[in-house]
Structure 1
């Protein structure tokens, strides 16, 4: 973040410097045009002479002070278009951008007198009087130079039938200003390389920031999953170990040893718990395999017969008669699969539906054959939050409150299911809504054998 702020500060400073350099270069290139151009000199002489005549009229009382600027404005309006065209012509002859606009503004007009000066006009509140040239606001333009014209003028005028000489001293202050259309684009063009490098640096910085945050979140998630797995496996192992501990103590008892039947029962308990421990260990080892490590022994089976057999066996294992399974198996084509692994994948999904099901659970199994073999298993269970769907097939990931162990498991079933499907070069998808249920869809490539 600090690097980005520094980079922004440097870009802003560079922009200001480039702007100042550009304005300075343009100012130097046009600063002497008004003085060195013969055509502009002629036009300037015209309005200057007319203006002096207007001041002379004011001096003898022919016009009021309020009429001076309007009369002067009417004079410059007549020659303004010619002035602009002449100025643009001189710009082209000097290879200066045609988009440049130029103007003269009046800052002060003062009649000088030994006793008391007469201020005819003085700029107030940044509101000058436009003299000649293009019209644009003070905010849009940039100062080129100031000019102070001091003159003592005299002319003959007829006053009350007599010819009299009128003389006066005049202070006339002007400012030359310029404006270039698209000057921001020109300045930014000069900074193009710097801006490109800065943008790349910004992208790099934000990319690294995004990667760091993402890595931190990923590491935290992995740490949480590991902690959850340790808690779950500890819980799963505690039950058989507690039973084994109790059985061992009972075997040490003289009363138990003297009873053959009791000894046999305890030994059988120890054997069962040993088998359970072995199965837990095998589950962790086998279900942690990646799809590259799964060695398939494929065979051709009738899809209709095979799927019905799995559903029949699964129904026999259910003690809850409230669970209803609907079948919609619309294909009798042959499919090429590893029966052992593919059966494991299907049973994992079915067992999850039962684990996280409602009191009146309904499971629907459908199968179709198009370009792919498509198997869909849906339920009306509790559903899965959308934010958790992305992690559903991650190793050791379990949906819901990890502190509650009323639903047993190690978070490996769906991970293993996905690996089996991938080993068959297929894909697995899941859709779910809270309290509406979940649908798993398996697609594996099919061809006629």
Structure 2
């Protein structure tokens, strides 16, 4: 497996993990918002229960009235703090069944669709006077508080409704040895309120069901697409490697019998007293053998990328170089095409591989003839650090979508207007690789039905 494919797989996996993380965060945030809205709704429902004048309100009043009297006794040292708390617990337990009965009546009336329970715990109880601060009860962290009223359930911080604080100044009279004394103290009575909903997490998740299903389907789709893309990429890479190996192997195998055929042709040519027909036939065999060998050499060379091309650069005069190519082309195609020349008279010294560069330019000229051009214009100019060749023809042109593909290996544009166009789809690919090997550039401009223009830029240094 090539390094590029491995890097692509790693990048895709990282992208998939990042996408999964973002999706998980979005679901988590949605869950938090739904939970907050759910608890707020439950909290509002509970807060409206026990309004002024209701039976529940009278229960709270009964507890507070009895407890205040016990606080007076505590301040007179008639009961201990432990007895005070036990008295508070006893009062709450005695009134709790009545509270639950009235609470369930109001909850049933609201028809919430879920079982909403409530209880209140004592958090802090402090008595302050002019001499000292007396902390009777203080709930520690992670410690169960003293339940005052409501249902028995494990308190959950996620369903904590907040705290309530009752502060008041208390003054009462006490007769001591025939004298009436006024006793004052300040009460700080802090409670924590909790609710409990059976399977509340399932209720929230059930509300998010469509979102979770949709997210899961998207996740599966992305994984499937990722798997299919990577698998298809690896398969295409294997097919390309097999095709390249096949082309290389078959061409090498063909060169052996062709070499033998060339040798046999030379031996036959040396024979004397042959009829004109035999001489003509041997000549035909020799020419076709040479043509076939050149075609095989082209396939072998075209299997190389620009990095594998071994260039033998030499100094070449630009005007002489392009003139020689165009003159030879004009001679071989004088009956097929009209060749216009606009050659810069300034002779520049190029450092190029003459054989490869000639092949690149000739391939473009030949390609124009193949695809219907009967007029070709070639112009050269010097542009800063580059020598540029522009080859413009009046052929059938190339569509926009095909212009991106013309330099691909084995690509041949499908066109119904031109018939019997022979070739392997390697000419423009080979030209592109040669120009890139020279650190140059080649680009194409074309419009369907209005011809094509290729521009080659070769560096001067």
For normalisation by structure 2, the TM-score amounts to: 0.48
